[in-house]
Amino acid sequence: MTVVSPLPRGPVTAPDAAVPFARDLARHGNRLAVVAGDDRWTYRELAQRVDAAAARLGAGRKLVLVSGANDAEQLVTYLAALAAGHVALLVPPAQAGAVAAAYDPDVVLLPGGELEVRRPASAHELHPDLALLMPTSGSTGSPKLARLSHENVQANAESIVAYLGVRDTDRAVTTLPMHYVYGLSVVNTHLLRGAAVVLSNLSVADACFWDLFRAEGGTSLAGVPHTFDLLDRVGFASMRLPRLRYVTQAGGRLDPARVGRYAELGRRAGWDFVVMYGQTEATARMAYLPPRLAAAHPATVGVPIPGGSFVIEPAPEAVSPDVGELVYHGPNVMLGYASSPADLGLGRTVTALRTGDLARRTAEGLYEIVGRRSRFVKIAGLRVDLDHLETALTRPGVAVRCTGTDGELLVAVSGPSADAEATAVRHEVASRLGLPARAVTVAAVADVPRLANGKVDYPALRELVSAAPGAAPPSAGTDATTPERLRALYAELLGRPDATLDSTFVGLGGDSLSYVEVSIRLEDELGAVPANWHVTPIRELAAARATAAPGRWRVRRLETSAALRALAIVCVVGTHAGLFTLLGGAHVLVAVAGFNFARFRLTAAGRATRLRRQAVGIARIAVPSVLWIGGVVLLTDQYGPLNVLLLNGLLGPPSWTSDWHFWFVEVLVYILVVLAALLAVPSVDRLERRFPVAFPVVLLGFGLLGRYEVVDLGVPHTMPVFWLFAFGWAAARASRPWQRLGLTAVLAATVPGFFGNSVREAAILGGVALLMWAATVPCPAPLHRVVSVLASSSLYIYLTHWQVYPHLDGIHPALAVTASVAAGIAAWLLAARVTALVSGLGARQGAARAASGTAPDRARGARPPADPSAGTADPHDPPAGRGCRSR
CATH number reported for the structural domain that contains residue 438 in this entry: 3.30.300.30
DSSP for 590-605 reads HHHHHHHHHHHTSSSS
Judged against a pLDDT cut of 70, whether residue 712 lies above it is answered with no
At residue 225's C-alpha, the angle toward residues 531 and 154, to 5°, is 135
Please say if the pLDDT value at position 686 is more than 70: yes
What is the C-alpha to C-alpha distance for residues 442 and 435, in angstroms, rounded to an integer? 14
Pick the more confident residue, 735 or 848. Answer: 735
CA atoms of 247 and 172, how far apart (whole Å): 11
In a domain, 876, yes or no: no
Residue 765 belongs to a domain: yes
Q: Which are the contacts of 540, defined by CB distance < 8 A and separation ≥ 6? A: none
Are 72 and 133 in contact by the 8 Å Cβ rule? The answer is: no
Contacts of 811 (CB under 8 A, 6+ apart): none
Confidence of residue 789 (pLDDT cuts 50, 70, 90): confident
Domain assignment of residue 863, yes or no: no
Distance CA 845, CA 715 (A): 43
How would residue 609 be classed by pLDDT, with cut points 50, 70 and 90? confident
Question: What pLDDT does 251 receive?
Answer: 85
Are 56 and 115 a contacting pair, CB within 8 Å?
Answer: yes
DSSP secondary structure string for all residues of 32-97? EEEEETTEEEEHHHHHHHHHHHHHHH-SS--EEEE---S-HHHHHHHHHHHHTT-EEEE--GGGHH
- Cα distance between residue 184 and residue 168, in whole Å: 18
Domain boundary among 314, 346, 371: 371
Phi, psi of 58 (to 5 degrees): 90, 180
On whether both 303 and 388 belong to a single domain, the answer is: no
Highest mean pLDDT among 159-168, 563-572, 782-791: 159-168
Range in 18-32, 273-287, 599-613, 627-641 the model is least confident about: 599-613
The larger pLDDT score, comparing residue 531 to residue 415, is at 415
Residues 525 and 566 in one domain: no
Span 229-239, pLDDT tens digits: 889 888 899 89
Q: Are residues 541 and 450 in the same domain?
A: no
Reported as a single tens digit per residue, the pLDDT across 94-104 is 788 888 889 99
Residues 450 and 342 occupy one common structural domain = no
* For residue 425, pLDDT beyond 70: yes
**3-state SS, residue 835:** helix
CB contact at 8 A, 461 and 410: yes
pLDDT reported for residue 423: 72
pLDDT at 641 over 70: yes
Instruction: Tell whether the model's pLDDT for residue 273 goes beyond 90.
Output: yes
In a domain? residue 536: yes
Residue 528 in domain: yes
Q: Between β-strands 440-444 and 408-414, what pairing exists: parallel, antiparallel or unpaired?
A: parallel
Angle subtended at Cα 593 by Cα 592 and Cα 594, rounded to the nearest 5 degrees:
90
DSSP state of 805: G
Q: Which of 164, 191, 222, 249 is nearest to 28 (CA)?
A: 191
| Residue 544 confidence class, pLDDT cut points 50, 70, 90 | low
CA distance 634 to 632: 5
Q: Quick: pLDDT tens for 53-98.
A: 999 999 899 999 998 789 999 999 999 999 999 999 999 887 888 8
Look up residue 534 and give its DSSP letter. Answer: G
pLDDT for residue 140: 41
CATH number of 535's domain: 1.10.1200.10
In contact, 786 and 754? CB cutoff 8 Å: no
Query: Does 620 lie in the same domain as 763?
Result: yes
Which of 16-25, 127-136, 835-844 has the weakest average pLDDT? 835-844
pLDDT value of position 34: 97
- Which pLDDT value is given to residue 368? 94
- Tell me the CB-side half-sphere exposure of residue 57, using CA atoms within 13 A: 36
What's the confidence (pLDDT) of residue 523? 62
Percentage of the chain with pLDDT > 90? Answer: 37
The number of domains in the chain is: 4
327, containing H or E segment: strand 324-329
- Taking the C-alpha atoms of residue 616 and residue 686, their distance in angstroms, rounded to an integer, is 22
Lowest mean pLDDT among 152-166, 372-386, 509-523, 776-790: 509-523
Average pLDDT score, the chain: 80
Q: Is the model's pLDDT at 24 over the cut of 60? A: yes
Query: 668 and 728 in contact (C-beta within 8 Å)?
Result: no
For residue 476, being part of any structural domain is answered with no
- Amino acid identity of residue 461, one-letter, is L
So what's the pLDDT on residue 364?
A: 94
Please tell me the predicted confidence (pLDDT) of residue 13: 37
Among 302, 304, 299, 298, smallest CA distance to 327 is for 304
For residue 129, tell me if it sits in a domain: yes
Give the structural domain span for 159.
Answer: 2-371
Q: What is the pLDDT of residue 138?
A: 42
Q: Is the dihedral of CA 864, 870, 873, 874 positive or negative?
A: positive
498 in the same domain as 451? no
Contact 293, 303 (CB under 8 A): no
The answer to whether position 755 is within a domain reads yes
Where would I find the H helices in 529-640? 538-541, 560-577, 585-600, 607-635
**Domain match, 161 and 59 both:** yes
* Per-residue pLDDT tens over the stretch 545-591: 544 444 444 566 677 887 888 898 999 998 888 888 888 888 888 89
Helix, coil or strand: residue 173: strand
Indicate which CATH number applies to the domain containing 86. Answer: 3.40.50.12780
Q: What is the reported pLDDT for 868?
A: 30
Regarding whether 302 and 241 lie in a shared domain, the answer is yes
Is this prediction's pTM over 0.85? Answer: no
* Confidence band for 117, pLDDT divided at 50, 70 and 90: very high
pLDDT bucket at 475, cuts 50 / 70 / 90 = very low
Confidence of residue 294 (pLDDT cuts 50, 70, 90): very high
Residue 878 has pLDDT above 90, yes or no: no
Identify which has the larger pLDDT, 557 or 259.
Answer: 259
HEC string of 210-223 equals: HHHHHHCCCCEEEE
- CA–CA separation, 486 and 648 (whole Å): 49
Rounded to whole angstroms, how far apart are CA atoms 724 and 768? 9
Are 120 and 184 part of one and the same domain? yes
Task: For 504-532, write each residue's pLDDT tens digit.
Answer: 776 665 543 445 456 656 765 675 666 56
Distance CA 536, CA 418 (A): 33
* Segment 739-760 mean pLDDT: 88
Contact in structure between 126 and 63 (CB atoms under 8 Å):
yes
pLDDT at 887: 35
Angle between helices 813-849 and 794-801 (to 10 degrees): 120
Taking alpha carbons only, the member of 439, 405, 164, 134 closest to residue 275 is 164
Domain boundary among 346, 371, 396: 371
State the average pLDDT over residues 694-723: 76
Is the predicted pLDDT of residue 875 greater than 90, yes or no? no
C-alpha to C-alpha distance for 87 and 80, rounded to whole angstroms: 10
Q: Is 698 helix (H, G, I), strand (E, B) or coil?
A: helix
* Mean pLDDT in residue range 655-666: 83
- Sequence-separated (6 or more) residues with CB below 8 Å from residue 840: 858, 859, 860, 883
Same domain, 738 and 618: yes
Question: For the chain, what percent of residues have pLDDT higher than 70?
Answer: 79
- Residue 38: CA count within 13 A, CB half-sphere: 13
pLDDT at position 476 over 70: no
Residue 449 shares a structural domain with residue 329: no
In terms of domains, do 29 and 171 share one? yes
**510 C-beta neighbours (distance < 10 Å), count:** 23
Q: For residues 887 and 854, is the Cβ–Cβ distance under 8 A?
A: no
Least confident interval from 149-158, 305-314, 656-665, 676-685 = 656-665
82-104 core/surface letters (b: 16 or more CB in 10 A; e: else): bbbbbbbbbbbeebbeebbeebb
Specify the range with the lowest mean pLDDT, choosing from 130-144, 256-270, 384-398: 130-144
Is 349 a residue whose pLDDT tops 90? yes
Q: Which amino acid is at 261?
A: R
What residues contact residue 185 under an 8 Å CB cut-off, 6+ apart? 156, 157, 160, 278, 283, 284, 285
* Most confident of the following: 128-132, 380-384, 435-439: 128-132
Task: Give the residue from 371, 399, 420 where a domain finishes.
Answer: 371
pLDDT at site 507: 67
Tell me, what's the pLDDT at 41? 96
> Residue 822's closest CA among 869, 866, 786?
786
So what's the pLDDT on residue 45? 97
* pLDDT, average across residues 475-498: 60
Residue 166: what pLDDT?
97
Closest alpha carbon to 590 in 663, 526, 668: 668
Least confident of 126-140, 609-623, 713-727: 713-727
